[in-house]
Amino acid sequence: MLTIRGIEIEDTFAEAFPLACARVVLTAEHPRLVQSAAAAATGNASSVIGCDAEAGVDRLMGPEETPDGRPGASLLFFGYSRPALEQSLISRIGQGILPCPTTAAYNGLTVDPAKCLQVGSRIRFFGDGWQSSKLLENRRFWRIPVMDGEFVVEETFGAGKGVAGGNLILQGTSREVTLQAAERAADAMASVPGVILPFAHGIVRAGSKVGSRYPKLKASTNETFCPSLRGQVKSELHPKAAVAYELVVDGLDLESVRQSMRLGIGAAAIPGIVRIGAGNYGGKLGPFLIHLKDLVGTAAEPC
C-alpha cells in the first residue's frame, strides 16, 4: 500500500472510455453574458447515463483569444457518438446561447473536415429565410437576424475523440473535511487546459454502478460507498471513513485527464482524508486504465 502524507492511496485504477468531443468558443459583449450563456448551454449535462451530453466550461477567455475580439469562454461537450453530439450542439447552442443577448458561437476544435458536425448549417433555419452566410479564411459563418442585431454561428464544428470517466474517490473522517478536500481537488483538476468536471461543483455524492435490480435503470447507487449501508452490504469504505465523494473528469486527450487526476490527488491529501481511490468496472467498461500508483510516482511513500 502506498501513502501520501500518511493518507492511503488505493492500489486501483480509474477506468476511462472514449467519447466524441467538441469545443465551442462562446463570446458576448460582457463577461456576465458569457457566463449566463455558458451556464444555459452546459446545464443538465453531468453524465451521458441520463443526459444527452457531458459538458462544462473549460476556461474563460480574454478578448485577445477569441475570433471576434470579445470576452469569451471555451465550452467542452462529450457525447456517445458524432451524430448524438451533433444533435446536442444544435439543441444547446440553439436554446442556450442563441437567445442570450449579444452572443456568438464558434468552432474551437481543428479536426479532419470529414468528421465535422453540421451545427450552424442547421441552426440557420431559425432565420426563416432572412439568414445570410459569409466565408472568411475557408470558414463559413451564418448570420441570423435577432432582436438585438445578429447571432453569428459557425457552420461546422469539429468532432474529436475525447476521454471520459477519469475519476477519484475521496474518503474522509467527516463531511466537512471530505468536502474541503474535494473542493481543493476539483479546483486543481479543473486548472488543466482541455478538461472539465461535468458534475455540479465538480463533485459527485451520488456515485453509481452499472445496472440495477430494477431492469429499466442503466445505473444505480453504488451501495458499497454509502455510509448508511455499512453492515448491510460489503462496504468499500475505510474503517475510519464517514463520507466519500467522487470527482469525475473528461478531457480532450488521455494525458490531460491523467494530469488532472494527478493534481487532484495532491490537492486532496489533507488531514482527515483516510483513503484516495478510484472507481472501475474491472476493465470491462473502457480501454483506458489510469492506475493511481503511476500518477503519484515518487511522491508516494511505501506503507
Question: What's residue 169's pLDDT?
Answer: 98
Question: What's residue 210's pLDDT?
Answer: 85
Question: What's residue 1's pLDDT?
Answer: 74
User: Do 166 and 156 have their domain in common?
Assistant: no
Largest CA distance in the chain: 69
Question: What's residue 300's pLDDT?
Answer: 55
Question: What's residue 200's pLDDT?
Answer: 96
Question: What's residue 142's pLDDT?
Answer: 98
Number of domains in the chain: 2
Question: What's residue 301's pLDDT?
Answer: 60
User: Do 89 and 173 have their domain in common?
Assistant: no
Integer Cα distance of 56 and 76 in angstroms: 6
Give kind and range of the element (H or E) at residue 86.
helix 82-92
CATH code of the domain containing 75: 3.30.70.520
Domain boundary among 127, 145, 160: 160
Q: Angle, nearest 10°, between helix axes 175-190 and 254-268? A: 140
Domain boundary among 160, 177, 197: 160
User: Do 10 and 39 have their domain in common?
Assistant: no
Question: What's residue 19's pLDDT?
Answer: 97
**pLDDT tens series, the chain, 303 aa:** 789 999 999 999 999 999 999 999 999 999 999 999 999 999 999 999 899 999 999 999 999 999 999 999 999 999 999 999 999 999 999 999 999 999 999 999 987 777 899 999 999 999 999 999 999 988 999 999 999 999 999 999 999 999 999 999 999 999 999 999 999 999 999 999 999 999 999 999 999 988 899 998 989 999 999 999 999 999 999 999 999 999 999 999 999 999 999 999 999 999 999 999 999 887 777 899 999 999 997 555 654
Domain around 44: 20-160
> What SS3 string covers 234-269?
CCCCCCCCCEEEEEEEEECCHHHHHHHHHHHHHHHC
Q: Could you count the other beta carbons within 10 Å of the beta carbon of residue 110?
A: 9
Q: Which three cell numbers stand for residue 173?
A: 473522517
Question: What's residue 60's pLDDT?
Answer: 97
User: Do 214 and 127 have their domain in common?
Assistant: no
> What SS3 string covers 132-148?
EEEEECCEEEEEEEECC
